[in-house]
């Protein structure tokens, strides 16, 4: 795989954050959640991360709980050898695996841990795995209902003061959470699910972020692959794949939701782009501070997704996408 050095359109994270390409890269699926039964190729994933940087896809998103820990270690290997400086590296804290097989159908049981003492050790563990002395963005994966967000955020702000983190972000936070955190230390970004079939945050968190110049990092912008046309039946999902437990991927719901994927494909064909590019361009069009972080471990999908930075949808296409039916099934 050869890297092509390009200048992707960039945007600033928050008011004082780093510049990032308008399309980022989510690394979760490289070691976690998806394709569990499929042998993964770490070398290909590493090449994908490095080619992302060549393409201007500079925001690289991981989390300590992905794996757990294996995802940060893989990202660390990808950024070794002089690539770290080209990336805007984002990781997360606040979720931990409490039992490797104690979750639904033998999956890992994941619980909150937003205690300040956990944050203080977790940042050092993340840095060691990532092979770096600082992350550019340190995100609270979920606000712990048992710990006031100000306390968790205060410990994260200590990491900034110590030079271990450049900026702080929240994930799946409410406007109230954002306000409470802002009172302690600036919120540079909020990461939440946003895609053609998940629009919940368009009416609360996203407008607040727009108003306060907080970056909105749109996760699962491809509907976990569905909007890109990857799956046409439940049986397409690999064994042990996390999506087998998600309501929208259950047999009847998935069959109904194929209408949405078909409309995306129609618009893509008319615009001579791919369905993934349509799905990502719609997300980018939701606001100047919105940065989608599609996940992929596949070289050709990475190139496809990077191309969404140059995909402009007509007002008629955007209106048609806005009018898509709501999906059947909740997102989790």
Stretch that binds ligand NAP, among 24-32, 49-57, 205-213, 315-323 (CB under 6 A): 24-32
Q: Taking the complex as a whole, how short is the minimal distance between the CB of residue 174 and ligand NAP, in angstroms?
A: 14
Out of 212, 230, 245, 331, the only residue in the binding site for ligand NAP (CB under 6 A) is 230
Q: Is the peptide bond before 282 cis (omega within 30 degrees of 0)?
A: no
Q: Which is nearer to ligand NAP, 84 or 141 (CB)?
A: 141
8 A C-beta contact, residue 73 and residue 88? no
Which of 14, 166, 169, 294 lies at the binding interface for ligand NAP (CB under 6 A)? 294
Catalytic residue among 66, 138, 219, 301: 66
By CB under 6 A, tell whether 187 contacts ligand NAP: no
SS3 string, 55-114, reads HCCCEEECCCCCCCCHHHHHHHHHHCCCCHHHCEEEEEECEEEEECCCCHHHCCEEEECC
Q: What is the spatial distance between Cα 178 and Cα 149, in angstroms, rounded to a whole number?
A: 9
* CA–CA distance, 140 with 152 (Å, rounded to integer): 8
Residue 66 among the catalytic residues: yes
Q: Which of 14, 17, 18, 29 lies at the binding interface for ligand NAP (CB under 6 A)?
A: 29
Question: Is residue 94 at the binding interface for ligand NAP, with CB under 6 A as the rule?
Answer: no
| Least distance from ligand NAP to the Cβ atom of residue 237, Å | 10
Please give the residues from 200 up to 219 whose contact with ligand NAP meets the rule CB under 6 A.
219
Q: Is residue 34 part of the contact set for ligand NAP (CB under 6 A)? A: yes
Binding mask 110-139 toward ligand NAP (x if CB under 6 A, else -) reads: ------------------------------
What lies within 8 Å, CB to CB, of 247 at 6+ separation is 253, 329, 330, 331, 332
What is the rounded CA–CA span in Å between residue 83 and residue 247? 39
Q: Which residue has the tokens 């970004």?
A: 189
CA neighbours within 13 Å on the CB side: how many for 303? Answer: 8
CB nearer to ligand NAP: pick between 221 and 327: 221
The yes or no reply on residue 225 touching ligand NAP (CB under 6 A) is: yes
**Calpha distance 169→14 (Å, rounded):** 10
CB of 288 to ligand NAP, least distance (A): 20
Kindly state the smallest distance separating residue 92's Cβ from ligand NAP, in Å. 7
Residue 297 touching ligand NAP (CB under 6 A): yes
Closest to ligand NAP by CB, 161 vs 242, is: 242
Q: Is residue 327 near ligand NAP by the rule CB under 6 A? A: no
Distance of closest approach, residue 230 Cβ to ligand NAP, in angstroms: 5
- DSSP for 192-242, please give it: EE-BTTB-GGGGTHHHHHHHTT-EEEEESTTGGGGGGT--SSGGGSPTT-G
Rounded-to-integer distance, Cα 282 and Cα 284, Å:
5
Lookup result for tokens 């069959």: 255
Q: Residue for token digits 């699926």? A: 29
Strand order in the sheet with 88-93: 25-26, 59-61, 88-93, 135-140, 165-171, 189-193, 215-219, 290-292
Compute the least distance from the CB of residue 163 to ligand NAP, in Å. 24
Residue 282, interface with ligand NAP (CB under 6 A)?
no
Catalytic residues: 66
Residues at the contact surface with ligand NAP, assessed by CB under 6 A: 26-29, 34, 61, 141, 171-172, 191, 219-225, 228, 230, 276, 293-298, 301, 304-305
């Amino acid at each position: 795989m050869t890297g092509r050095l390009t200048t992707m359109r960039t945007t600033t994270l928050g008011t004082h954050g780093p510049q990032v390409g308008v399309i980022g890269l989510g690394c979760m699926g490289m070691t976690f959640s998806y394709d569990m039964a499929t042998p993964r190729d770490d070398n290909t994933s590493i090449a994908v991360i490095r080619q992302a940087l060549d393409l201007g896809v500079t925001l690289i998103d991981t989390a300590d709980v992905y794996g757990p820990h294996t995802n940060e270690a893989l990202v660390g290997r990808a950024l070794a050898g002089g690539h770290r400086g080209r990336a805007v590296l984002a990781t997360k804290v606040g979720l931990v695996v409490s039992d490797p097989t104690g979750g639904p159908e033998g999956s890992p049981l994941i619980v909150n841990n937003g205690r300040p003492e956990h944050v203080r050790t977790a940042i050092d563990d993340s840095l060691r795995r990532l092979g770096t002395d600082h992350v550019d963005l340190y995100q609270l994966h979920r606000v712990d209902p048992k710990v006031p967000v100000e306390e968790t955020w205060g410990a994260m702000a200590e990491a900034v003061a110590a030079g271990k983190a450049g900026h702080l972000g929240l994930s799946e936070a409410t406007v109230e959470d954002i306000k409470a955190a802002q009172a302690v230390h600036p919120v540079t970004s909020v990461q939440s699910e946003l895609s053609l079939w998940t629009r919940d945050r368009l009416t609360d968190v996203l407008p607040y972020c727009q108003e306060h110049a907080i970056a909105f990092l749109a996760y699962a912008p491809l509907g976990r692959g569905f909007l890109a046309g990857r799956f046409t039946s439940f049986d397409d999902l690999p064994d042990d794949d996390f999506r087998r437990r998600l309501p929208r991927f259950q047999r009847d719901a998935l069959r109904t939701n194929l209408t949405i994927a078909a409309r995306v494909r129609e618009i893509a064909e008319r615009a001579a782009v791919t369905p993934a590019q349509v799905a990502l361009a719609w997300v980018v069009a939701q606001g100047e501070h919105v940065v989608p972080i599609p996940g992929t471990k596949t070289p050709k999908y990475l190139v496809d997704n990077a191309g969404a930075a140059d995909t402009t949808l007509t007002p008629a296409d955007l209106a048609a996408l806005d009018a898509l039916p709501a999906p059947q099934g909740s997102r989790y």
